Amino acid sequence: MKPNSHNFKLNARHALDDKQLQRALAKVPGGFVSKRADARAALPEFDALRDKARDIKNHTLEHLDLYLEEFERKVTEAGGIVHWASDAAEARAIILDICVMVDARVVTKGKSMISEEIALNDHLEAADLKVVETDLGEYIIQLRGETPSHIIAPAVHLNKDQVEEDFRRVHTNLSPDRQLQEPEQLVGEAREMLREQFIATDVGITGANFLIAETGTSVIVTNEGNGDLTQNLAKTHIVIASIEKAVPTLEDAAAILRVLARSATGQEFSTYTTFSTGPRRPGDPDGPEAYHVVLLDNGRAELLGTEFKEVLRCIRCGACMNHCPVYHSVGGHAYGWVYPGPIGSVLTPSLIGVDEAGPLPNASTFCGRCEDVCPMRIPLPKLMRRWRAREFDKGNPPAKQRFALKAWAFAARRPWLYRMGAGLAMPLMAWRGRSAGRFSSLPFVDGWTAHRDFPAPQGRTFQQKWRAEKRKRSRVSQGRGKS
Amino acid sequence: MSTASDQLNDASSDTAPTVGLFVTCLVDLMRPSVGFASVKLLEAAGCVVEVPTTQTCCGQPAFNSGDTKTTADIAKQVIAAFESFDYVVAPSGSCAGMLKAHYIELFDENDPWHGRATAFAARVHELISFLTDVRGMTDVGARFDGTATYHDSCSGLRELGVKTQPRKLLSSVGGLTVTEMTDCEVCCGFGGTFSVKYPDVSNAIVEKKTANISASEADLLLAGDLGCLFNMAGKLKREGRTIAVRHVAEVLAGQLDEPAIGEGQDMS
Ligand code: SF4
């Protein structure tokens, strides 16, 4: 997908003006936030588990090459094939080649953010393949020609009446009196449509939440069971996953799974947790005939060992955006690329460059709620700040902003100048704002006063008044001394 | 409660700890009454308060703009001015968080300033939590007749764990009822330079906050950070709402002579 992150400010403005979107976004905080809080409260060792999850992933990333090689060895032993893709173009080509090799016409897909990252659907469709998203949310946005606005709830920006409209538009055989007002009715309708596709499919593509090195197993967690059908009913199963999904052992995966669903949806476990190791073996009742894993780097290896390496611990649970006041206000599309919210603000500049994604690390109040809820304890605000520092060192912030900062910094490092300037300016400003107690417009902070009043200062500065107070106090104590 | 000047003399015994008051730039420039309320509370808690004149700002505007060099210069200035006190106290969770949690990050481990920043950090406290957790204050002896709602500012809450302390002290204020608003822990949208860099988004966030404040039906909005208070007060005023807005220290110190934030002076 073509990035549009440099336009964040404008995207945000449009998002704020979009009434449908605002109606949908209003529902985001309620559900996710309280469900996670309940799940956390019900598990006293939750925070200890977060530490453990962090440590597992840190260890894995320290030795990522070894674990990936072990994973490849185990997949091969199980009869599968591992493909290494250094970038999006390579990954797309590998997947298309496999599809062509097996003469595929229909491809079903489970939910995968990596497939969004490499813009897989467009590539396959350009080669005349029919691509069907089978996750309900993904299915809906595919009908609409949109991209996901959330990493675990791709259609969270939509309301159910919009979905009903889309279904009636696309499912042309629907009778007009078929009820589609309730979510269950919509799910039922999608299920009927998708069932036919599952049967017709040639290749099933899924993502992976974990790649387990000791067994060569890929793991997906879903709530709809569509992932299982995708990978079991097709003759060929392709897993597309980025390299940081590796974990050493089954036990490690189990440990991280304990914080994943709780952080994401507040469930103890997702409805389905599916482990896939190689293709169908003789005697297996089902499973694909061929099993491929495409391991995507796309800039991640370069992050190892850098000041941004911690972002590679991310397990894409979505908690950071579920708790982000900026995300709640503008939704996911405003971020202009695949990953929205706080994780997007750190990951997007890392993957597609800060020239494109420069506004994202700035689009945070640093309220710290993301770091507070991140199951992998990724210090998201700190990493955003590091991007700001890089940008600052390159001289990138706008001239007006740099100038204001410089002037302020000059005074802040010279206390006498600062005191003098403040001592003159504040009483003046106070005098002007005294009767109203506030300003309804002020130069330099016109962005602020477009929406809010600016409270007036009280008058003389604290430092000025404190000096006077101290003189008074010493007179009092001297007076007492004499008496 | 005794007067501030009595306290000054009572407190100057050998055992009274010295507190360097980090006034914060917003209190210094915009609302000195919060500084005086802080002094009064600290003296009531048995401390000797001093206000170094070499302080300006904690450096957050530079830090959050990515200007690490300027931030480190300011940090050194603050550390040098304050490291001789037993405690360093700020009437702001955000500035105290900067001094306590972030100065250390500015120096690498071999730099002698790293050690100084670490020792300094151990002495830094946010005002209200200092009063309760370090000085064991339980009763402020103040009075306010009305209902207040308290906004948990982000840095204080998440970097310093300030949550129960202000509520504990507010419960000792005679005549005051505290009523919690929905989402009191959610950001008000201020975010320092964020509010001027992304005014539209900042506004969308503060609109939700003011709706929750109004729904609480309190007469008074309190918080421990002037930045957030200015943001919320500015929005409440623009919306024409009448709820008064003050720093929590003003109520705890019983210093309510100055008009509330964003209110005009009585010109009569
Ligand atoms: S950064 Fe943390 S909270 Fe956000 S998606 Fe990744 S793991 Fe979840």
Nearest to B65 among A330, A405, A463 (CB): A405
Mean pLDDT, chain B, integer:
93
**Nearest CA to CA, how far is B32 from chain A (Å)?**
4
Q: Do A9 and B261 touch (CB under 8 A)?
A: no
Task: Report the share of chain A in percent with pLDDT over 70.
Answer: 99
Instruction: Tell me the pLDDT tens digit for each residue of B53-85.
Output: 999 899 999 999 999 999 999 999 999 999 999
pLDDT (0 to 100) of residue A482: 53
Mean pLDDT, chain A, integer:
93
Looking at A286-332, list the stretches that DSSP marks H as alpha helix, in order from N- to C-terminal side: 300-303, 319-322, 325-330
Task: Report the share of chain B in percent with pLDDT over 70.
Answer: 94
Confidence of residue A432 (pLDDT cuts 50, 70, 90): confident
Q: Residue B88 contacts by C-beta under 8 Å, 6 or more apart in sequence?
A: B19, B20, B22, B82, B99, B120, B123, B124, B125
Residue A29 CA to ligand 1 centre (angstroms): 16
Confidence of residue B3 (pLDDT cuts 50, 70, 90): very low
Instruction: Tell me the pLDDT tens digit for each residue of A300-356.
Output: 999 999 999 999 999 999 999 999 999 999 999 999 999 999 999 999 999 999 999
Q: Please report the domains of chain B, with CATH numbers, ordered by start residue.
A: 4-132 (3.40.50), 141-252 (3.40.50.11810)
Atom of ligand 1 nearest to the CA of A316: 5
Instruction: Tell me the pLDDT tens digit for each residue of B215-253.
Output: 999 999 999 999 999 999 999 999 999 999 999 999 999
Confidence of residue A389 (pLDDT cuts 50, 70, 90): very high
The vertex-A460 CA angle with A459 and A462, nearest 5°, equals: 115
Contacts of A419 in chain B (CB under 8 A): 53
Please report which helix (H) or strand (E) contains residue A157, including its range. Answer: none
**B43 neighbors B4 (Cβ within 8 angstroms):** yes
Residue A205's alpha-carbon distances to A91, A109, A198, B114, in angstroms, are: 13, 5, 12, 51
Q: Where in chain A is the domain with CATH 3.40.50.10420?
A: 43-302
pLDDT (0 to 100) of residue A237: 97
- B268 pLDDT higher than 70: no
Residue A85's alpha-carbon distances to A76, A93, A299, in angstroms, are: 17, 9, 11
ipTM score? 0.92
Q: A34: which 2 tokens? A: 């309280």
pLDDT (0 to 100) of residue A193: 85
Pocket test for ligand 1, best of A372, A378, A383, A384 (most atoms within 8 A of CB): A378
- B8 pLDDT higher than 50: no
Mean per-residue pLDDT, A449-468:
92
Residue B225 CA to ligand 1 centre (angstroms): 28
**Alpha-carbon dihedral A412, A415, A420, A422, rounded to 10 degrees:** 40
Q: Do B238 and A454 touch (CB under 8 A)?
A: no
pLDDT (0 to 100) of residue B15: 83
Instruction: Tell me the pLDDT tens digit for each residue of B110-160.
Output: 999 999 999 999 999 999 999 999 999 999 999 999 999 999 999 999 999
Does ligand 1 lie within 6 Å of residue A324's CB atom? no
Q: Do B30 and A426 touch (CB under 8 A)?
A: yes
Q: Residue A56 contacts by C-beta under 8 Å, 6 or more apart in sequence?
A: A247, A248, A252, A255, A256
CATH number of the A43-302 domain: 3.40.50.10420
Q: Who has greater pLDDT, B268 or B96?
A: B96
Instruction: Tell me the pLDDT tens digit for each residue of B156-207.
Output: 999 999 999 999 999 999 999 999 999 999 999 999 889 989 999 999 999 9
Q: How far apart are CA A16 and CA A335, in angstroms?
A: 13
Confidence of residue A415 (pLDDT cuts 50, 70, 90): confident
A434 reaches B (C-beta below 8 A)? yes
